[in-house]
Amino acid sequence: MHHFHYKDGEMYGEDVPVATIAEAVGTPFYLYAHATLVQHFKAFDGAFEGARHLTCFSMKSNSNLAILRLFAGLGGGVDIVSGGELFRALQAGIDPKKIVYSGVGKREEDLQFALSSDILMFNVESSQELMRLNEIAGTMKKKAGIAIRVNPDVDPKTHPYISTGLRENKFGIDIREAPEQYTVAAGLKHIRVLGVSCHIGSQLTEVGPFVDAVAKLMGLLGELEKAGIPVTFLDLGGGLGITYDQEDPPHPREYAGAIKQMVSRSNITLIFEPGRVIVGNAGILVAKVLYTKSTAEKNFIVVDAAMNDLMRPSLYNSFHAIQPVRKKGKGKLQADIVGPICESGDFLAKDREVDAYEPGDLLAVMSAGAYGFSMSSTYNSRPRVAEVMVRGDHFYSIRKRETYEDLVRGEEIPDFLLNG
């Protein structure tokens, strides 16, 4: 469920017409519904009520400070993948003791930053990283809490680019080698073994692969206990899918139902790193139609948003529903919705049955709250767009549209070029 709906043919975000916001901030812009963000966070977090757990929002899906702040207020932590994300999380007021740090390529300065911030746990992805972390923690006179991210070799049955838990993927340590790595970790002076973690992929639409992964992880937990290396955290990562088109993903309640009984016997704190399932359907990208054109083969609707603003269609060929901001009832046609960027891969929708839009019309690219703005760039020197949060009958700018000045900030022309 989300809070974008029609009243008399007019799209609203909560109680505000989307067209009113467009008039105020210009286009394109991302719009997030506060009520949906809250509802989705609570639906996920609440599903695990009764089990000791911590919901660490995966902030790579959406790292806007206002959204992080909202989740912090609901008791959430975050899953970070870089020093930059740690900086954002701290700026937003996330409790460092609710931060877990994942990623195969953590840099030395990022490890230092995370250690000095006293985050909860590093999800270590290689033996070299483990050694490096131990070394750095030593020089800082700290002890680093870790989980080893294991690769359980289960097929998440999702797009290959967002599948991460197969043996062929770059992530984690093969679960068969994990016991050995844990023995090493337990012997390191500046490492404290806290947990086991995994993340098998994104946009999963079945519970099965999660259940398979948990079964394997519980096996590992038992082995570790026998080896005298008990752990307290079981981090199951993110990955629960959402409905973009016809998908029918499990509700967090079903997911929780399947998982809870598998871990009920142990005194374990579960950690989750959901991203998409919380913010995906809480956001839309609003764009304006610039031109329409037809070739012998195709109809094109050219809008002012492009692949730099929303990369998912170009990158994964993903589906985002396209909906009119004002229903005009002028019929339908088959068309590609494309942006102004000089790439044939610059499309938001392909061969889609859409309204017969005319220049000046507004349209909404639905389900754009996750991996939307956070993946955006300034390619073609297009300033990054504004972000707005609507709550009841008020809306708030949560990120200003970038200016041309922002585009060149930090660039320098060496003297020899100026005086040549």
Q: How many CA atoms lie within 13 A of 275 on its CB side?
A: 26
Asked about 56 being catalytic, the answer comes back as no
Give me the least distance between CB of 58 and ligand PLP, in Å please. 3
Q: How far is the CB of 367 from ligand PLP (least distance, A)?
A: 12
215's enclosing H/E stretch is helix 208-226
**Smallest separation, CB 279 to ligand PLP (Å):** 8
Q: Any bridge partners for residue 146, and if so which?
A: 122, 193
Residues making contact with ligand PLP (CB under 6 A): 58, 60-61, 79, 102, 199, 202, 237-239, 273-277, 370
Q: Is 13 left (phi over 0), alpha (psi -120 to 50) or beta?
A: beta
Which is catalytic among the residues 342, 413, 417, 418? 342
- What gap in Å lies between CA 61 and CA 310, rounded to an integer? 12
Cα–Cα nearest to 34, from 2, 7, 11, 10? 2
- Compare residues 98 and 352 and give the one whose CB is closer to ligand PLP: 98
Q: How far is the CB of 284 from ligand PLP (least distance, A)?
A: 17
To the nearest 10 degrees (0 to 180), the angle between helices 65-73 and 34-47 is 40
Closer residue to ligand PLP in complex, CB, 237/252: 237
DSSP for 242-289? --SSS--PPPHHHHHHHHHHHHTTS--EEEE---HHHHGGGEEEEEEE
CB of 36 to ligand PLP, least distance (A): 16
Length of the chain as a residue count: 420
Using CB atoms within 10 A of its CB, is residue 36 exposed (0-12), middle (13-18) or buried (19+)?
A: buried
What CA–CA distance (Å, rounded) separates 154 from 152? Answer: 6
Omega into 28 within 30° of 0, i.e. cis?
yes
**Residues 337, 313 contacting (CB under 8 angstroms):** no
334-362 as b/e: b if 16+ CB within 10 A: ebbbbbbbeeeebbbbeebebbbbeeebb
Which CB atom, from 60 or from 384, has the smaller least distance to ligand PLP? 60
**Helix axis angle, 178-186 relative to 208-226, nearest 10°?**
50
Provide the 3-class DSSP secondary structure of residue 211: helix
Residue whose CB is less far from ligand PLP, 150 or 386: 150
**Which C-beta is closer to ligand PLP: that of 39 or that of 380?**
39
State the nearest-atom distance from the C-beta of 244 to ligand PLP, in Å.
13
> What does the DSSP 8-state code read for residue 308?
T
Rank residues 13 and 237 by Cβ distance to ligand PLP and give the closer one: 237
Closest approach of ligand PLP to the CB of residue 375, in Å: 11
Q: Which is nearer to ligand PLP, 356 or 375 (CB)?
A: 375
Positions annotated as catalytic residues are 342
